[in-house]
């Protein structure tokens, strides 16, 4: 097969009114169609890659002197799908399968590049896939929650797409779960286009870490069920919902301090806040109660309260007690904890070189939460934990405890910071609050599939 110029090949397959009609008809089984409006030829590289797979579906044809640029015989293999009516298929998709969605865009996410990400990399793909979009940009913190709680669901029956980080997704979730028409709101799926400081949710659950892949997943359609957990401030009766994780201790302190550097540093604010908090590390004391999803046969006979055991290494007093109203056996601990993390999925950060996993046994739809307790105090222990975490060795440390739970109650003791983080949002409380983290009996839905 000889190499020929693109102009010569195009001239070869272009229609010439001076040629007889029989010139274009060469067999009863296959005809070389003249490209019409709305059709395009496959690129030569794509044709070569599929050449061996289409042998049975193709025929050879010899075209001699089909134009002035060709002075020799041109032998070619033409696939039966040479002409693709792409524009017509897209037009039919728009007319027959229009998906109406609300797009909530946070212009301050990450490096403030979410506008560019959406309008240059995502919008065109979604339009060609049949999405009818109403785009609203958030103007202040909590604006996404207001939009989700007040929007007419009939205007976006196919979902709400969040452009930003995990924070805007969390606001939309809480807005939907705070509506009066809760049943309808729970059926509304949430789509995510990652463009924020942290996009752990979409990366961990759907395996997507860039906007182009997110647009492709949204265009393909489908849903992914995901558990939803609630963090309740018992004394005030305030409830906040989440999809990724809640945490107390060092990580919550870093989250609070990082807000001072949001505008200047963007995603790097967590690194600076972590270093500063590490250098001035306080002691964290908590009282923790948790309920396992399965009853432990090794627990002692049911009593209201049993004597705890004091460990000199971790300085944690632990024991078990029974909830007389439900008959469930609870485990209680009191002492020093560098961190308390409750994960809804395995929590893999989208940024970072190694992208380590926080809770490797967690699943987003397994009906349980994963509790990680980092016992003790001190910079050396904290440093060892974060180094081991970068290589996914943190669960092998003797002062780290990992357990599946249904519910967790956390109470700060003494002067310990009383804040609790949920999906990158810090919940502030006064005095000595009690935080209760538990799964909801229903699941949410994310747009797209892994």
DSSP-assigned letter for residue 413: -
Tokens for 277, please give them.
């908090």
Is 323 annotated as catalytic?
Answer: no
Do 337 and 375 form a contact (C-beta atoms < 8 A)? yes
Q: Tell me the C-alpha distance between 28 and 31, whole Å.
A: 8
Of 66, 61, 100, 99, the C-alpha closest to 78 is: 61
Task: Tell me the chain's radius of gyration from C-alpha atoms.
Answer: 30
Q: Name residues whose C-beta falls within 8 Å of residue 230's C-beta, 6 or more positions apart in sequence.
A: 239, 240, 241, 242, 437, 438, 439, 440
Residues paired with 319 in a beta bridge? 332
Nearest 10 degrees: Cα torsion 174, 177, 179, 185: 120
Nearest 10 degrees: Cα torsion 256, 261, 267, 270: -40
Q: Tell me the C-alpha distance between 237 and 234, whole Å.
A: 5
Q: Tell me the C-alpha distance between 112 and 90, whole Å.
A: 32
Do 244 and 370 form a contact (C-beta atoms < 8 A)? no
Question: Phi and psi dihedrals of 291, rounded to 5?
Answer: -120, 120
DSSP-assigned letter for residue 69: T
Q: Tell me the C-alpha distance between 313 and 310, whole Å.
A: 9
- Active-site choice (89, 158, 166, 323): 166
Q: Would you mind telling me the total number of residues written for the chain in this entry? A: 450
E strand or H helix at 407: strand 407-412
Cα 175 to chain centroid distance, Å, stands at 18
Catalytic residues: 166
């Amino acid at each position: 097969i000889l190499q020929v110029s693109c102009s010569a090949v195009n001239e070869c397959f272009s229609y010439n009114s001076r040629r007889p009609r029989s010139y274009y008809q060469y067999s009863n089984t296959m005809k070389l169609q003249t490209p019409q409006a709305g059709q395009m030829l496959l690129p030569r590289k794509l044709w070569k890659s599929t050449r061996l797979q289409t042998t049975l579906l193709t025929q050879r044809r010899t075209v001699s002197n089909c134009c002035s640029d060709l002075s020799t015989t041109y032998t070619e293999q033409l696939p039966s799908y040479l002409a693709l009516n792409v524009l017509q298929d897209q037009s039919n998709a728009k007319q027959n399968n229009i998906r109406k969605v609300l797009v909530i865009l946070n212009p301050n996410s990450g490096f403030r590049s979410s506008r560019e990400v959406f309008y240059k990399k995502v919008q065109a793909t979604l339009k060609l896939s049949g999405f009818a979009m109403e785009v609203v940009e958030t103007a202040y913190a909590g604006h996404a929650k207001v939009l989700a709680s007040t929007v007419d669901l009939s205007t976006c029956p196919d979902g709400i797409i969040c452009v930003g980080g995990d924070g805007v997704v969390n606001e939309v979730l809480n807005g939907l779960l705070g509506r009066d028409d809760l049943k309808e709101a729970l059926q509304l799926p949430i789509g995510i286009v990652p463009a924020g400081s942290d996009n752990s949710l979409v990366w961990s659950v759907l395996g997507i870490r860039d906007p182009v892949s997110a647009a492709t997943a949204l265009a393909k359609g489908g849903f992914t069920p995901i558990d939803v957990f609630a963090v309740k401030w018992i004394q005030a009766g305030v409830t906040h919902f989440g999809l990724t994780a809640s945490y107390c201790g060092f990580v919550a302190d870093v989250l609070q301090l990082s807000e001072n550097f949001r505008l200047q540093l963007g995603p790097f604010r967590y690194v600076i806040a972590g270093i500063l908090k590490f250098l001035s590390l306080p002691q964290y004391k908590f009282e923790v109660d948790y309920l396992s999803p399965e009853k432990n046969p090794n627990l002692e006979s049911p009593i209201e309260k049993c004597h705890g055991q004091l460990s000199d290494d971790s300085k944690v007093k632990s024991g078990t007690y029974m909830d007389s109203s439900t008959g469930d056996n609870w485990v209680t601990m009191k002492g020093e904890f560098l961190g308390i993390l409750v994960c809804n999925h395995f929590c893999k950060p989208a940024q970072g070189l190694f992208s380590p996993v926080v809770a490797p046994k967690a699943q987003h739809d397994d009906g349980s939460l994963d509790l990680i307790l980092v016992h003790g105090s001190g910079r050396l222990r904290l440093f060892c934990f974060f180094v081991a975490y970068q290589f996914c060795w943190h669960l092998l440390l003797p002062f780290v405890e990992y357990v599946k739970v249904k519910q967790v109650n956390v109470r700060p003791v003494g002067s310990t910071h009383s804040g609790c983080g949920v999906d990158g949002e810090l919940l502030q409380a006064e005095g000595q609050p009690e935080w209760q983290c538990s799964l909801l009996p229903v699941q949410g839905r994310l747009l797209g599939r892994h």
